[in-house]
Chain A
Amino acid sequence: MLKYAYNMLVYGTEPIEDGIARVAKYGYDFTEVVGEPEQIPAARIRTALDANDILASSIVSIYTPDRDLVSSNSSIRANTVDYIKGNVDHAVALGAKIVTLTPTACMKIRPEVDIKQEWAWAVEGAREAATYAHDHGVRIAVEPWNRYESYLINRLEQSIAFVDEVDHPGIGCMADTFHMSIEDADIAGAIRAAGKRLAHVHFADSNRAAPGRGHLNFTPFVEALRDIEYSGVCSFELLPAAGDVWGVLSGAGAPEFLDQYTEESITYMKNIERELGLL
């Protein structure tokens, strides 16, 4: 039986209290919190979580150009490690167990220096973050992004290689079905290859809308999660059809991503679980 979260990023600029109340209304147990600890104090989020009997599953880190683990600028690299540690602290304050990591700034698609050097910086920074996370009972989850959002880790097998190289209990892999629909040849096979390394999951359909709104077949994916005995949370990270998703979310947003997709997503996935006899 899978555990579901809805990512608060999807709700854009609306007050977090409204978002947390909404996931509670539609039967979620968890919420995924945006990694901007300075924008909304942990205490305020905690109050809303407690009021709605919702748990925080994870912190989704936001990799802006000044949060780039492989920047050629060493102070940006150091700032990025600090940022991730700050998200670990935020996770601890909220009771979340996962902080997401992608080693490049979002939408950066060109390496600045030799890619082997960048990979080495990424491993070094991730190991420091993983050590800190592990000491605080949190795990870092390395998320591959599709080719338009990053050049370094696009595919789950690259995340597996990265996690194996970091070689620390405080780090694992992450799978996002939207990115995998573009980059991976065999989604279920990739999940099985990750096995126990899989620390976190993002769900979205092939067009990044609610599962069922695109053409991705989620059944083999859920079967693979069952087979590897995945015990983490699956968070719906649904985003509008735009290159600039931050722009959309911080602007007018998209109304279907609120009540409609929140309700549809969990209903759709639970139906698959029911068909597989998991519920």
Chain B
Amino acid sequence: MSLQIGLSSFVLASPFSDSDLSVASDVSSMGYEVLEICIEDPALLSAAAINKAAAENNLKISICGAFGPDRDVSSDDPEIRVKGIAYLKECIDLASAVGSPFVSGPMYSTTGKTRLLPPEARKAQLDLAVNNLREVGEYAATKGVGLAIEPLNRFETDLINTLEQGVELCKKIALENVGLLIDTFHMNIEEKSLTESITKSQKYIFHVQVSENDRGTPGSGQVRWEEFFSALKTINYSGWVVVESFLPTVAEIARAVSLWRPVAPSMDYLAREGRKFIAEAVTASGL
């Protein structure tokens, strides 16, 4: 796999469905090589339709999860944990059927759960995440798929905020096909140093999402892109880099989005200019 640039479906339509796949030709003509499809509602998507759109437009497909309150592998409620596991297995089946090397996202909890737990309760929640993600990871391995776990900033989760915590979680799960998805928006809030956090977790980095500090067009804000890509160069990252932002209409993870004002002139502008900027930054870094 060589480094290729993708676009998140959260920029295009939400919840993304088979009928939205007509945008694949736009995504491809903008120069993207990967379409990342976020599975808000699995019933709205089929592998056949995705594969057809991907083949027609010469796109690769990345599968990403969206973790609303009804699907949470570390919930206090066992029924919701079961639903969380079942949802992830559905995503894995789809990933396997559309050739996505992994299922990515903050799959250890529901997005927006930021409780202040005492240490014992926190450990209990983490243990649930570890055990259930190990089960899911083992299932994924049988399908030839990996898990790319995404740390989120403090306002979106209380469980895994930094790459370091993500690595700890991966070590506890202890499966070769389980690693991390890193996202510049969250890193801008939580990491002390982009370079150090990336080099220290290098062998776990499966996938990369890029977003500006305000979720606007990459290159228009404060993220230290040169440092970020030169750190990826240092670890010889050769995976995908997906441009992510959100339409204000995202349902499943509304809290995560929290976008109250336009962060770019339009989503089309964000997709076009973001790709251009990221492609140039990748080239400049020597990746």
Contact = CB atoms under 8 A, between A and B. Distances in A.
Q: Do A and B bind each other?
A: yes
A251 B118 CA distance: 10
Interface string B116-129: 10000000000000
Contacts, number: 75
A154 B261 contact: yes
Given A181-B213, A184-B214, A184-B222, A241 B259 contact: no
B154 A151 contact: no
A242 B192 contact: no
Contact of A207 (B158, B189, B216, B220): B189
Nearest to B256: A148
B221 A155 contact: no
B236 interface: no
A138 B260 CA distance: 31
A74 to B, nearest CB: 24
B261 A242 contact: no
A244 B154 CA distance: 9
A155 B261 contact: yes
A192 interface: no
A155 B216 CA distance: 13
Interface residues of A, number: 29
Interface in B241-287: 255, 258-261
Contacts of B70: none
A216 to B, nearest CB: 8
Nearest to A157: B261
A260 to B, nearest CB: 15
Nearest to B193: A215
Given A184-B214, A207-B192, A242 B114 contact: yes
A242 B224 contact: no
Interface in B117-156: 154-156
Contact of A215 (B116, B224, B258, B260): B224
Nearest to A240: B154
A251 B222 CA distance: 34
B174 to A, nearest CB: 26
A185 B255 contact: no
Interface in A97-149: 109, 146-149
A183 interface: yes
B161 interface: yes
B241 to A, nearest CB: 20
Given A147-B258, A242-B114, A206 B154 contact: no
B188 A243 contact: no
B213 to A, nearest CB: 6
Contact of B191 (A146, A183, A215, A247): A215
A149 B153 CA distance: 13
Interface of A: 109, 146-149, 151-152, 154-155, 158, 181-187, 206-207, 213-215, 241-244, 247-248, 251
Given A206-B189, A215-B192, A251-B116, 10 more contacts: A109-B255, A148-B155, A155-B214, A181-B213, A184-B221, A185-B213, A185-B221, A243-B114, A244-B114, A244-B116
Of all A-B residue pairs in the complex, the 10 with the closest CB atoms, nearest first, are: A243-B114, A148-B155, A247-B116, A147-B258, A151-B260, A185-B221, A244-B116, A241-B154, A243-B155, A183-B214
29 contacts: A148-B155, A148-B156, A149-B155, A151-B258, A152-B260, A154-B260, A154-B261, A181-B189, A182-B213, A184-B214, A184-B222, A185-B214, A185-B216, A186-B221, A186-B222, A187-B222, A206-B189, A207-B190, A207-B191, A215-B191, A241-B154, A241-B161, A242-B114, A243-B155, A243-B156, A244-B115, A244-B116, A247-B116, A248-B116
